[in-house]
Amino acid sequence: MEAIIIIVFLVGYLAITLEHNLKIDKLIPALAMMAILWAIIALAHLPVFEVNAEIQELEPSHLDEMLLHHLGKTAEILVFLLGAMTIVEIIDYFDGFATIKGYIRTRSKRKLLWLFSLLAFILSAIIDNLTATIVLVTILQKVIRDRETRLWFAGIIIIAANAGGAWSPIGDVTTTMLWIAEKVTTVQLVIHVLIPSIICMVVPGLIASRKKAFSGMIDGEFEKEPAKSPFGATMLYLGLGAIIFVPVFKTITHLPPYVGMMLSLAVVATFAEIYSGTKFSISGIDSEEHDTVGHHSPVHSSLSKIELPSILFFLGILLAVAALESLGYLFHYAASLNEAIPNLDIVVMLFGVGSAVIDNVPLVAASMGMFSEPADSPLWHFIAYSAGTGGSMLIIGSAAGVVAMGMEKIDFFWYLKKIAWLAMVGFVAGAIAFILLRDFVLHA
């Protein structure tokens, strides 16, 4: 029976990895794999276990209890992501991200390189690396006309965005997973991962800045576009501030992060409704003539645009990995892995390399079931760094890379030849910095 379960998981995983080749959205095999795995467990009456972290042993449990437990943990992540996505869409509804373009005043390619890198690094830590990439590539298309130059900039944005998402509990889905599961805390994550992430961004930037693609000036003048809404800048700062408030709320109240995210969403949505001048009625939505943005509720409009396929994919993949964890497979695989490779640093770096080939969400989900180290163990911080930044080594290795690939039609092999080695150098440099920081500074 174990062989059947592993085959189902591998086939589902392969279908997810080959999403573009099969022309099937990855949420479909993820949901199917999840349902089939739990069905096999139920029909075959397989025993399920819960890991006792204190004694690092498996304890028998009931199927209903385990499924409800894992559904609850997964729902915390999904509700959190729904809130964050909605806030980002509300900002975009008011064209708030256009405010960022106002910061770009230089025509020097080298200065633009560092400006876009810094913006990607900071934005991804707040609104996640995927959204930051979408925003900056959109701005890039308005600032730089030459496509070949834009491709180079897009490659650097991917590296910087993934590096920025790794050190923030709200910057990457995998880091958010570790944070919600209480494997890491905000302060310790920043202390351990911020400097390695900066190095992961700066080293490729320094190397790239010497290349011909980033020398000279860009062609043309910047076009000034009229603001679509007078409240764009206000909603941008309010939305970003509301998302940053979530870790503060958790620290103060010790409530799950999704509670703080819902409060932040409520505040942002309130101001959005006030600024939009939209009135609600029982039969529909009535808009006044002074509606400054559109003719619909900004909250309803934003909810209709969030990435529900991504939410369903996370539901499927997290509960599928949870099935393997409940059967005790991940616990036993971790023991075997520790015997084969005693050095956990090598194992975690291999996770980083693996995240460039396959999705980092199931990798991190699996690691959470494999290892039972206490909260804020350096292992979890290193996993957050590796899973977050390792995906930059291939353009299909991260959500940021995939979306940039679609927006700019970046060729897989062009990225492999031009950008991948820069990402790898940055990843290794940051990993070395993490190990040195951990061994000789923080835990000396």
Of 137, 157, 146, 134, nearest in space to 208 by CA: 157
The DSSP element (H or E) to which 417 belongs, if any, is helix 412-418
Collapse the DSSP code of 433 into the 3-class scheme (helix H, G, I; strand E, B; otherwise coil) and give the result: helix
Q: Give the mean model confidence (pLDDT) for residues 208-218.
A: 87
What are 264-304's pLDDT values in tens digits?
999 999 999 998 875 443 344 444 444 444 456 888 888 88
Average pLDDT, integer, range 23-40: 91
Per-residue pLDDT tens for 170-204?
A: 988 899 999 998 999 999 999 999 999 999 999 99
Which long-range contacts (C-beta less than 8 Å, at least 24 apart) are formed by 208-214?
208/113, 208/152, 208/156, 208/422, 209/110, 209/113, 209/114, 211/152, 213/109, 213/148, 213/149, 213/152, 214/109, 214/110, 214/113, 214/152
Residues 193 and 312 in one domain: yes
Q: Tell me, yes or no, whether 87 and 182 share the same domain.
A: yes
With respect to residue 57, please indicate whether it lies within any of the assigned structural domains.
no
Indicate whether 425 and 337 sit together in one domain: yes
Whether residue 115 is contained in a domain is answered as: yes
Please write down the HEC assignment for all residues of 101-115: HCCCCCCEHHHHHHH
Same structural domain, 84 and 19: no
Residue 52 lies in a domain: no
Cβ pair 233, 91 in contact under 8 A: no
CB 67 within 8 A of CB 177: no
CA–CA separation, 334 and 332 (whole Å):
5
Number of domains making up the chain: 2
Task: Tell me: do 70 and 178 sit in the same domain.
Answer: yes
Is the pLDDT higher at 196 or at 106?
196
CB contact set of 88 (below 8 Å; sequence gap of 6+): 127, 128, 131, 239
**Cα 438 to the center of its chain, rounded Å:** 24
Question: Is 178 a domain residue?
Answer: yes
Quick one: three-class SS letters along 196-210?
HHHHHHHHHHHHHCC
Distance, CA of 433 to CA of 443 (rounded, Å): 14
3-state secondary structure of 212: helix
Mean pLDDT of the chain: 86
CA distance 134 to 228: 19
pLDDT for residue 113: 93
Give the C-alpha separation, 10 to 355, whole Å. 16
Complete DSSP assignment for 44-102: TT--EEEEETTTTEEEEE-HHHHHHHHHHHHHHHHHHHHHHHHHHHHHHHTTTTHHHHT
Q: What six digits make up the tokens of 79?
A: 């509700």
Whether this prediction's pTM lies above 0.85 is answered by no
Same domain, yes or no: 27 and 103? no
- Domain-located, residue 54: no
Could you tell me if residue 16 is inside a domain? yes
Task: Taking residues 116-144, report their average pLDDT.
Answer: 90
Dist CA 141 CA 408 (whole Å): 9
CA dihedral (175, 179, 183, 189) positive or negative: positive
Residue 33 φ then ψ, to 5°: -60, -45
- 1 lies in the same domain as 128: no
Query: Residue holding tokens 């994919």?
Result: 313
Say how far apart CA 394 and CA 391 lie, in whole Å. Answer: 6
> Which one-letter DSSP state was computed for residue 285?
E
Tens of pLDDT along 60-92? Answer: 778 888 899 899 989 998 999 899 999 999 998
**Same domain as 285, residue 405:** yes
Task: Examine the domain organization and report whether 12 and 74 are in the same domain.
Answer: no
Domain that holds residue 304: 64-221+228-442
Burial class (CB in 10 A: 0-12, 13-18, 19+), 203: buried
Q: What is the per-residue pLDDT across 362-402, written as a single tens digit (0 to 9) for each? A: 888 888 878 878 889 999 999 999 999 998 998 878 888 88
Rounded CA separation 233/213 (Å): 32
Same domain for 176 and 136: yes
Do 375 and 254 lie in a common domain? yes
- In a domain? residue 58: no
Residue 191 lies in a domain: yes
**Contact call for residues 199 and 426 (beta carbons, < 8 A):** yes
pLDDT of residue 284: 45
Indicate if 286 and 377 belong to the same structural domain: yes
| More confidently predicted of 426 and 103 | 426
